[in-house]
Amino acid sequence: MASTYSQADRRSARRARTIEDALDAAEAIMREQGVGGLSMSEVARRLGMRQPSLYKYFSSLHALFDALFARGLARTDAAVTAAIRRRPPGVPRLRAGARALMRWAVENPALAQLLYWRPVPGFEPSAETFAASRDQMATVRTELAAAAGSGQLRAAAATDEALLLYTVVISGVISQQLANEPGASFAAGRFSRLTDEALDMYFARYAPAGGTDADPRP
Amino acid sequence: MASTYSQADRRSARRARTIEDALDAAEAIMREQGVGGLSMSEVARRLGMRQPSLYKYFSSLHALFDALFARGLARTDAAVTAAIRRRPPGVPRLRAGARALMRWAVENPALAQLLYWRPVPGFEPSAETFAASRDQMATVRTELAAAAGSGQLRAAAATDEALLLYTVVISGVISQQLANEPGASFAAGRFSRLTDEALDMYFARYAPAGGTDADPRP
DNA sequence: GTCTATATGTTGATAGAC
DNA sequence: GTCTATCAACATATAGAC
């Protein structure tokens, strides 16, 4: 039975790889032609496959978008997680996470638009995909609470207002950069270069009265 | 000759009205189906007109988008101008203008997406339309300089950084509100309700050291 | 899981009669 | 300026042979 098992294994591995290839192609298409330019036909074309065959992997165009949304979430999660690893809780993690997120968005504009704007009429991420999105928000909330609890920030940082303003600042930088200078790198972009200053502005609002050195910039 | 003149007058007035009707219809379509859902066919359909006839008014789909972009600029300009009228220069105008802009964006999501995001692949506003956009930025720059010159804000407010951060904050609120709660009113939206707090955050960054009462909230 | 064939729909844009 | 007619693409999705 060993050979049967390994054959099935190879089969599913091959299938998984085809799916990844399809998502790669889809990302490229969105990068080149905008999110609205994505189509099953074009993805199939780039895979050297007939369009109906692609339906064996994605049951509809919406399903393809959902897979891309999920991929975007996983990628941002990985980028943020890697960036905050071994950093102390609170402000340092919030700062590093925000920077990582902005860099990722500038370098992956296609997926970023899918995550941060609403470019596809009628498309909403599925329930489970959306749940993952909520988890990310919960992480931010936790770090804000840690910052408030440890005195790095005022108690007001552990509120909904602070959480929402955090997302406002991040999405503001990302939106302006992607809309006005789509091609620029994170280092060169007129808006993405202001990432640290934007975060300074945000954290200053919740800085403790005393003015400690709780928020050292790297 | 009087009757000829007035006939031509009526003709051009009628033409202008048809164009306005077409733009109204286009706005409605974008509101209902997203910016990408706009098509010449659907606009013509709603006007009770055959699709080829619409080409007498707009030479292409891109031309229609450009007219919509220009309309959006004119509308925001009118909203902002009305809001800052009779307000003293500097911070009061910056605050009132930003509020008016955010309110307008929430109430006109279709045009706002066209102005603040980049939802149409391959579409860029024409040179003259884009020039109007630059004019609006120049106005903000002027008010920031006025605020810095009169001591309402620190000298740092008269820099590119301050100008860009101003747009970051505004577009951040707008983007988050439109992407996450598309239907909500300005008063009810979780993000648009934070407009004043977001502006507080911004102006605090450029507040003079002394801490004057130069930034009274309405 | 791949293919061919096909149904069915949409679009942008042009030609030319009236 | 309006219409009919039409072209040429393009799309999503399904049926069914192999």
Residue-wise pLDDT tens digits, A122-165 = 888 999 998 999 999 999 999 999 999 999 999 999 999 999 99
Does pLDDT of A213 surpass 60?
no
Domain boundary among A58, A84, A100: A58
With an 8 Å Cβ cutoff, are B116 and A170 in contact?
A: no
**Residue B212 exposure: Cα atoms within 13 Å on the Cβ side:** 12
The gap from C-alpha A33 to its chain's centroid, in whole angstroms, comes to 20
Residue B124: both structure tokens together? 């860029």
- Other CB atoms within 10 A of residue B149 CB: 14
Do A195 and A110 belong together in one domain? yes
Q: What's residue A1's pLDDT?
A: 52
* CA-based nearest residue in chain A for residue B193: A161
Do A52 and A66 belong together in one domain? no
Range of the domain at A118: 60-218
Do B34 and B53 belong together in one domain? yes
**Cα(A2)–Cα(A25) distance, integer angstroms:** 35
> Does the beta carbon of A161 lie under 8 angstroms from any beta carbon of chain B?
yes
B121 touches strand D (CB under 7 A): no
Among A113, A164, A201, the residue with its CB nearest the CB of B165 is A201
| CATH code, B130 | 1.10.357.10
Q: Kindly compute the dihedral angle of the four CA atoms of residues A136, A139, A141, A143, in this order, to the nearest 10 degrees.
A: -140
> Does the beta carbon of A169 lie under 8 angstroms from any beta carbon of chain B?
yes
Nucleotide lying nearest to B44, CA to C1' measure:
D2
Q: What's residue A170's pLDDT?
A: 98
Q: Which residue has the higher pLDDT, A92 or A122?
A: A92
* CA-based nearest residue in chain B for residue A168: B172
Total count of residues recorded for chain A? 218
Q: Residue A192 is inside which H or E element, if any?
A: none
Q: From first to last of its 218 residues, what are the pLDDT tens digits of chain B? A: 555 667 788 878 999 999 999 999 999 999 999 999 999 999 999 999 999 999 999 999 999 999 999 999 999 999 999 999 999 999 999 999 999 999 999 999 999 999 998 888 888 899 999 899 999 999 999 999 999 999 999 999 999 999 999 999 999 999 999 999 999 999 999 999 999 999 999 999 999 997 655 555 65
Do B84 and B157 belong together in one domain? yes
Mean pLDDT score across all residues of chain A = 93
Whole-number distance in Å between B42 CA and C9 C1': 14
**Cα(A207)–Cα(A205) distance, integer angstroms:** 6
Q: What's residue B6's pLDDT?
A: 73
Closest CA to A171 of B147, B13, B125, B116: B116
B53 touches strand C (CB under 7 A): no
Strand C, nucleotides < 7 Å from a protein CB: these are 1-5, 10-16
Q: What's residue B73's pLDDT?
A: 96
